[in-house]
Amino acid sequence: MANKIKIGGIELSGRAVLAPMAGAGDRAFRETCAAFGAAATVSEMVSAKALWFGDKKTRGLMELGGRARPAAIQLFGSDPAVMAEGAKRAMEFSPDGIDINMGCPAPKITGSGAGSALMKNPPLCGEIVAAVKCAVPVPVTVKMRAGWDEKSRNAAEVAKICEAAGAAAVAVHARTRAEMYAPGPDWGIIKEVKEAVSIPVIGNGDVTGAQSAALMLEQTGCDAVMVGRGALGNPWVFRQINAYLTESCRIVPPPGVHEKMLVLLRQVELMCRYKGELRAMKEARKHAGWYLKGLRGAAGFRRRACALSTFAELEALTKDVILANEETET
């Protein structure tokens, strides 16, 4: 494995980091992934404008704790002054970095000129990075897309502007905003960005396991990979990637049903601790569905998961899942 990667003054312990995921990458999930070897984590995206107005719900997204470090808080917005003020307020939660969202494709985000809509205005991207960089004492990073659409695949241009403005690293999702999450990503754009800048480049787009992570690193020359959807219900993917990259391509098999259910229970227990059981169990329904993928009887168990309202119900569900699947394990 290559020398350890430094983002500003922060040294990463590995080459696989957890992507920020709105509605899924909460504190409990980030801590679970960190326990399996995620080299860094990023919060769910936070509205800088909402921070400006003191929104209490927004503050809850920035709770980091100490189990998932290094950890960055991701902000979205389109006004440099508002983004700078939001970054200042985010520092109350002691993040190791501030990440700027230039990649979200959701219409409600791009409609305000934020997220991947920023890719249409490269100078503004630089202004935002410079403003945030001046506002906080921690490294500032950027997560971007390949571009807005096929006619404007300008990630390399935007990355150079962000680097000049003070960005310590960039993460590149190898699809345009128009492509959303399909078809397959064009990893070539990650290579273009890597060749255009001297700061660390993190590749993102369909890294689902150890071999795809190694392939992205080899084909693009990027410094690290970012795992998003591939980690949902599958936090041990970081353990698998780390082993493959550092132990002569050693393949770590996926865990058995007992470990899967134990990890699910531990994650949801953390969710209940941080959010309260009522709210946590509603949000846990989708996580349970992801953990059930590929197991015997998954369809029926997912229907039960969709109705979970107490932690005790989840415990009963996991016991039934184990009973239905343990005879298939050797």
Is 249 catalytic? The answer is no
| Residue 16 and residue 224 in contact, taking contact as beta carbons nearer than 8 Å | yes
Please, what is the Cα angle at 270 between 74 and 101, to 5 degrees?
10
Distance CA 106, CA 276 (A): 28
- What residue type is assigned to position 267 of the chain? Q
CB-based contacts of 244, cutoff 8 Å, min separation 6: 210, 211, 213, 214, 250, 251, 252
Peptide bond connecting 183 to the previous residue in cis, omega within 30 degrees of 0: yes
Question: What is the number of residues in the chain?
Answer: 330
Structure tokens at 185: 């990503």
Kindly list the distances between the CA atom of residue 254 and the CA atoms of 236, 259, 266, in Å, as whole numbers in the listed order: 8, 10, 18
Distances from the Cα of 137 to the Cα of 92, 132, 163, 256, 289, angstroms: 12, 10, 17, 44, 40
33, 104, 125, 222: which is the annotated catalytic residue?
104
7 three-state secondary structure: strand
List, by residue number, the catalytic residues: 104
